[in-house]
Amino acid sequence: MLRTDPVNLLQYRKAEKAADNHLSAIPLSGRRYTQYRQQLGNCLHFSYWACILKTMIKKVHDKTSSQNQLMPDRGHPTWLIHIALLIYCSAANSELRPDNFVNLLNLEPTIHLEMRYASSHNFMGRPVHGYKTAACWLTEPAANALATVHRMLAKSGLGLVIFDCYRPQHAVNDFVQWASQPNQDMKADFYPRIAKNDLFSAEYIAERSGHSRGSTVDLALIQIKPPLATILDSVEPSTRPDYCQSDYKRARNAGQLDFGSDYDCFDILSHTANNSIGNKAIRNRQYLVDIMQTHGFSNYHQEWWHFTFKPEPYPERYFDFPITAQ
């Protein structure tokens, strides 16, 4: 039996070292090796703490048994620990990221990221499963095209703000799970005129997302010049719609152009061709679609912010590796 003493801590360290040596012998590239090692390291850490927990449970059990001899020995609930360990390790050893995925900021560090699903500012009101950090991973051709768009925009004082890139399948599963629950905390801001359980049939949420294929991105345009403090001067208050505007002032103060509805507001106002959003917003949507199309991206007609690079390197694959910094 493992106990929580220094000897067993040493055993644990030896096991970690042995795993490290074993992995060193595997001809993986440096990045994939690091990912693999992190996942195995997580398992070993969990295993160590599981042994501590097992010891504690046994001590409590032994004490109780000695105090009450009539109590039958039902054995130790170690099977629970082993099942938990199995589930955890299965999850930790999820898919590895393919080599042709790149971190967008490594290509173009001046692109502004506002990764909503890594934060609580989204329709679920909390960070989404699988977003371990606020990073944008995309297939190489999609990322290259996006960096080119950003550099083109910079010539006229504009740039890209990115809301979402590659999305793990278990993040999509988290959406599905959320949709089956009664909580509607974020309804006013993100789906004000549609019932939560209609989000699937209305095709705002699906059990599989193009984002999981790695070549789809959600974005808007941001004004780099003139200084951000002056941007609110150009607002068109008389043409603002009544819905999907709760993030309007914050977004404008952050430099975002007016696109007529907030990002991720599931409403007909977000349909790209909607014509009740004011002339300036209509022009901005058309400009965004045009510049993205020029560089190989096609728009989803129900969401002005959603673009897929074509041809996709993985048109049939739905990846499930977590979003990490490296």
Residues near 142 by beta carbon (within 8 Å), at least 6 away in sequence: 214, 215, 216, 217, 297, 309, 312
Return the amino acid letter for 253.
N
How far CA 221 is from CA of 160, 259, 273, in Å, comes to 5, 9, 17
Q: Closest CB to Zn ion among 114 and 218?
A: 218
Residues near 324 by beta carbon (within 8 Å), at least 6 away in sequence: 35, 132, 133, 135
Closest distance to Zn ion from the beta carbon of 264 (Å): 8
Q: Closest CB to Zn ion among 99 and 203?
A: 203
Q: Which stretch binds Zn ion (CB under 5 A): 7-15, 123-131, 214-222, 241-249?
A: 214-222
Q: Closest CB to Zn ion among 174 and 218?
A: 218
Q: How far apart are CA 65 and CA 57, in angstroms?
A: 12
- Tell which one of 129, 306, 319, 323 touches Zn ion (CB under 5 A): 306
Q: Which stretch binds Zn ion (CB under 5 A): 10-18, 129-137, 174-182, 210-218?
A: 210-218
Question: Which residue has its beta carbon closest to Zn ion?
Answer: 306
Closest distance to Zn ion from the beta carbon of 188 (Å): 21
Interface with Zn ion (CB under 5 A), residue total 2
Binding of residue 218 to Zn ion (CB under 5 A) = yes
Among 194, 98, 101, smallest CA distance to 140 is for 101
| Catalytic-labelled residue, pool 203, 303, 312, 316 | 303
What's the token pair of residue 50?
């599981």
Q: Which stretch binds Zn ion (CB under 5 A): 87-95, 100-108, 300-308, 318-326?
A: 300-308
Residues near 275 by beta carbon (within 8 Å), at least 6 away in sequence: 282
Q: How far apart are CA 272 and CA 298, in angstroms?
A: 12
Closest distance to Zn ion from the beta carbon of 299 (Å): 10
Bridge-based pairing of strands 158-164 and 112-113 is parallel
Closest distance to Zn ion from the beta carbon of 209 (Å): 7
Closest distance to Zn ion from the beta carbon of 203 (Å): 12
What's the token pair of residue 318?
């739905």
CB distance 79 to 17 below 8 Å? no
207 is catalytic: no
Contact footprint for Zn ion (CB under 5 A): 218, 306
Catalytic positions, written as ranges = 303
